[in-house]
Amino acid sequence: MVGSRGDSPAREQLSALRSLLVLAMLLTQQDSQATIVTVVANAVESLGRCRLKGIYFDGRWQDAQVPGQGAATAGPPRTGLATAELPPGGGQVELAGQPWAWAYPLSGPHGPAGYLIVGAAEPPAESERFLLRVLAQQAAVALANAHLRHRERAQAAELQAANLALRRSMAIHERLTRVAMAGEGQEGIARAVYELTDRTAVIEDRFGNLRAWAGPDRPKTYPRADPRQRKRILTHAMAAASPVREGERLVSVAVLGGAPMGVLVLHDPEGTGLTASGRCPVTISASQTTSSTCS
């Protein structure tokens, strides 16, 4: 019986280590940072008497469902710990209402990437602290890997979008080059832009006179702009070297020798003719070709 009682702490620690091994395997299978944080939050209290007080990672306090509390931790921990109070290498911290509290660093290749904050009514045994250190290390690895995978996916998506935009631009350029070489003139250019963008396309001369229209709702009498307003928008478009918005219209200017030779107008009342980055140029050259447009 004595031997059995003496073996109990060792057995408990072995069981805890086995649980950590299972937890480490579980964490490596997670692809979501939020899921990892929740798994870690649930693991803290299963390792002893400590309770989770907060997880700081990737520059912010993470949301995590805390067992038995019925709500998620968000922002600074409820105990009021400020980020500036976190020791760089981890260590004891002062938390209101917590006789003992510790910040375990979530260490990365370039130092702590965050902290696992726990609290307890009294200092835990060294064996429990060891388990918490191991948990923090496993959490750091899992969070770093999830962050890396997320960044890689984002970069892959950006590259795919850039490739699609490039292919789109090349197809548009080829289409409009064929129009120019076939001698279809301004009507052909306007018609091609309309077909490529599904938006009414208009070509004007430098003074605002209508030269070509492609699309619905062509007016019987084409409106003339105020000369001063016309000069202002042309100057703006020439300086921008890309389409500029004028009310419901996107305006692009063809320039030769520093002077405007023609204007391509794309009617865009919904305001969707430019991408989120503002990069969706609709331009025409002095030789009546369009270098690119938006999808």
Q: Are residues 194 and 149 in the same domain?
A: no
User: How far apart, in Å, do the first and last CA atoms of the chain sit?
Assistant: 80
- Among 136, 135, 103, 145, CA closest to 20: 135
Query: What are 57's two structure tokens?
Result: 């990672």
Local mean pLDDT, 10-residue blocks, the chain (295 residues):
50 66 74 80 80 83 66 52 74 85 80 82 88 87 84 90 84 80 85 87 90 90 86 87 84 82 86 50 44 37
Q: How far apart are CA 94 and CA 79, in angstroms?
A: 9
Ramachandran class of 80: left when φ > 0, alpha when ψ lies in -120 to 50, beta otherwise: left
- Residue 205 domain boundaries: 183-295
pTM for the model stands at: 0.56
100 and 189 co-located in one domain: no
CATH of the domain at 272: 3.30.450
Domain assignment of residue 172, yes or no: no
One domain, residues 145 and 196? no
What is the count of structural domains for the chain? 2
In this prediction, residue 295 carries a pLDDT of 36
Q: Do 206 and 140 lie in a common domain?
A: no
Question: What local confidence, expressed as pLDDT, does residue 68 receive?
Answer: 59
Inside any domain, residue 44: yes
Residue closest to 169 by CA, chosen among 279, 287, 288, 286? 279
The verdict on 148 and 249 lying in the same domain is no
State the CB neighbour count (10 A cutoff) for residue 197.
Answer: 21
Shared domain check, 128 and 10:
yes
**pLDDT score, position 9:** 62
pLDDT for res 79: 54
Look at residue 159 and tell me if it is in a domain.
Answer: no
